[in-house]
Structure 1
């Protein structure tokens, strides 16, 4: 990329000064960051094969009620918020001075994104977090730069294309499932008539039986996961390495790319419309709450009931419905409930209520990268064998005691840390690598803040 004329030093590209930060965005990001742990904690603390049993069996017990609340009000919604704010961050970065000191905004932007991809690989393959989103965000970020100057209506349209693609895929998969079910039923009917089956018919029968088998917990696989994760780092790495390969390849490109990309494009549009910056009237934010919760929560409850039906009798579920309500409406529910959360957060922020809490949440959001990776370190230490080894020792609802403890810790630590440092430690490393220059880190005593400060993530 050709260097452009060097601008005055006052215009140099640099991290955003603390006074220039949009505090409302930090608060929303803090809520999203803490909220993400509610969805991640089951995958830190329990074998995946145990989750459906704990979440859906014994309707009305504490596990069931806990999952119902999490699924309807928060699952996917916090990640949606986080993804939207990533998109907002693209606009914040790229609308600054176009060129300075021989570096263009594109140079800075793509350096940040490429470093994020590397951090994501480390989070997944070294820290062993199979639910890592940094890699997916980095891959999506590679494609967002050309969209930065589009009008909000075009950004919204682009996001709808992503969501529409996922809806079509989920509907198509369900129809394929129904076809396999019908083929199986035809084979069963032939068997009852004592007719000899062809190889293709035998394959049809085996295909459906395999699908049904995969909906049930495999105790042998559960025991193997528990043994390896509790055995130590090498055992956990051996078990999760192929899982990471699957998630960061096939799942990433078939699902996460469109999911995160669509939310990021929507976030870019919402930022330009002033939704995240407090520019809208209170009644507008109240409208977001009423519409978002009024549509999303009832739809979420209905989707949860459908998932319960599928858990109880998967074959009957496939026979009864023509599409999967839970999967087809997934992004609709996520968007509207997430916007309801934004409306509620902004009403609290604008009113000045709970200032102590919004200040702490803003600090958590300002250190979102550090706090995200910190959650991985804390949870793997608590649950994996090279730490305390609590993997599969807590039931589903008890995991949320851990979540509450991490929340309290990060809400307390983040404001204190930012009294003494301009950045969270990973934010500092990320920005120093991006600008290829060591950034100021510790705040000098009894001195005013210099121009280089905590960057808008």
Structure 2
């Protein structure tokens, strides 16, 4: 979902030429000007995003976190795969993307300021991304994150010119506030809905309301499932437009305590030289593995506790949203450090294709959604609700193959991915050459 190191990338990657719309010397990004680690990390992240989302593509959206919402049996193998996904994938890939998006916001403006442009160019660019996100949400798939990134990106712009240490401090402080907010909110919800507190008179009304909300969510999911399985695309879109109109806004506000701080941390990391290899590599590897292992151990403990409790509805929401932000931060920063450290060595056949997928990550992100609804929806291959986790992961691998197969040959012939090119043209309001 991100892309080309140019200003046409979701986390406008690399060392893109963020040029003023009226500049006479607009030129494509030269390969030597790119920060290779950004392309490689984005490639890993866009593949990982599909690993996180594949369940919600091929099963009920609620099945993403609640196994009982599967339309087929969620057996023991699927239970353990859920544990593995919760530890290694869920929200980690989005976290990587968010860091890169923050880095891209500053990278874009760094180049734009050098050409005499202002923050209005970035504001316009984010407004275009918002349109892409809303189209994605309402017309393709409601798991969109582009809308979050665009709206929250607006809130990052006023902080771009602070000192990087200040940005880092604010980002970490805000993230800690998010840990407290999500932790307290989701813990209270779980305690009231699924523990002995639900039987206490003082909490009986709240507990009943939560059970009613759960039943309503599952009922709404059943209606959407039927529309998808029948292939009623018009009915599905109409439902989203009329009954879920403000959901993207509400979701953005709820997840702002997670996304906004990570964006600002990404800005600070870029300016401090984290992504360009200016940190000591040995320390990057050491601290990277420490973050992954410590964060992974905490995440595993949470996942095993959830499994032992039967993956209940509100406990799963607590595990996914309320208790994971701290270990998630450790793992996201750990993964980022390791990928930056190891990216220069990943120059073989596979590494080149992963980097190419990262350069065209915006196209790959949206293109994957289109491919998945064709595979699963009733108007396409009609495989919705047919697979448990093992089958869904096989579909995921097939999509990875497609992603890796097309990106490199395309970028050998064209300057940008298709949507990267379109975003760039819309940003500068002029037509750029696509073919090399």
For the criterion TM > 0.5, the same-fold answer is: yes
Q: Compute the TM-score of the two structures, normalised by the length of structure 1.
A: 0.81
Cα distance change, pair 223–212 in 1 and its aligned pair in 2 (3 A): closer
Once the two structures are TM-superposed, the CA of residue 307 in structure 1 deviates from its matched residue by 2.6
For 2:151, what is the secondary structure of its paired residue? helix
Q: Which residue of 1 aligns with 2:144?
A: 132
After TM superposition, the structure 1 stretch with the greater mean CA deviation from structure 2, 78-87 or 274-283, is 274-283
Cα deviations by residue, 1:37-69 (Å, 9 ceiling, x for unpaired): 111111111013445236999998221121111
1:53 paired to 2:46: no
Indicate yes or no: 2:430 matched with 1:437.
Answer: yes
Which runs of 5 or more residues in structure 2 are unaligned?
1-18
Quick one: structure 1 residues 326 and 365, their matched pair in 2 at CA, closer, same or farther if it must change by over 3 Å?
Answer: closer
Equivalent position of 1:193 in the other structure = none
**Aligned residue in 1 for 2:6:** none
1:360 to 353, 364, 377: 353
Q: Which residue does 1:333 correspond to in 2?
A: 327
Deviation at 1:184, TM superposition (A): 4.4
Does the residue aligned with 1:160 lie in a helix, a strand or coil? helix
Contact 1:360/1:414 (8 A) holds in 2: yes
CA contact (8 A) 1:54 1:396 kept: no
Q: Which of 215-224 and 229-238 deviates more?
A: 215-224
1:105 aligns to 2:118 (yes or no): yes
Deviation at 1:264, TM superposition (A): 0.7
Show the counterpart of 1:286.
285
Q: Kindly tell me: are residues 393 and 326 of structure 1, through their superposed partners in 2, closer, same or farther at Cα, counting changes over 3 Å?
A: closer
Out of 336-345 and 211-220, give the one that drifted further.
211-220
SS in 2 for 1:397: helix
Aligned to 1:253: 253
Matches of 1:60 and 1:85, distance apart in 2: 36
Over alpha carbons, which structure has the higher Rg? 1
C-alpha distance in structure 1 between counterparts of 2:123 and 2:217, whole Å? 43
Counterpart of 2:266 in structure 1 is: 267
Render the CA deviation track for 1:275-297: whole Å, top value 9, x for unaligned: 21222332122113321122111
- Matched residue, 1:237: 237
The equivalent of 1:149 in structure 2 is: 161
Q: Distance in 1 between matches of 2:318 and 2:217?
A: 24
Measure how far apart 1:380 and its partner are: 0.8
* Total equivalences in the alignment: 412
Cα distance between partner residues in 2 of 1:130 and 1:240: 8
Q: CA deviation at 1:259?
A: 1.8
Contact 1:383 1:389 in 2 (8 A): yes
Q: What is the alpha-carbon distance in structure 2 between the residues aligned to residue 206 and residue 238 of structure 1?
A: 34
Cα distance in structure 1, aligned partners of 2:24 and 2:251: 42
1:447 maps to none
Helix, strand or coil at the partner of 1:205: helix
User: 2:14 matched to which residue of 1?
Assistant: none
The two structures, once aligned, show a CA RMSD in angstroms of: 3.2
- CA deviation profile, 1:387-422 (whole Å, cap 9, x unmatched): 111110111221111111111111111000011100
Change in Cα spacing, 1:157 to 1:243, as seen in structure 2 (3 Å) is farther
Q: Give, in whole Å, the separation in 2 of the partners of 1:72 and 1:147.
A: 32
Residue 55 (structure 2) pairs with residue 42 (structure 1): yes
Measured in 1, the distance between the counterparts of 2:112 and 2:222 equals 56
Cα 1:172–1:243 change in 2 (3 A) is: farther
1:448 alignment partner in structure 2:
none
TM-score, length basis structure 2: 0.84
- Write the distance in 1 (CA, Å) between the matches of 2:118 and 2:57: 37
Question: 2:153, 2:336 → 1: CA distance?
Answer: 23
Secondary structure of the structure 1 residue equivalent to 2:416: coil
Report the CA distance shift for 1:409/1:54 in structure 2 as closer, same or farther (over 3 A).
Answer: farther
In structure 2, the residue matched to 1:418 is: 411
2:190 and 2:318 in contact (8 A); partners too: no
| Aligned partner (choices 120, 123, 128) of residue 133 of structure 2 | 120
Alignment of 1:355-394 (within 5 A): 355-394=348-387
Give the aligned partner of residue 227 of structure 2: 228
Q: What are the ranges of 5 or more consecutive residues in structure 1 without an aligned counterpart?
A: 1-5, 188-200, 444-457
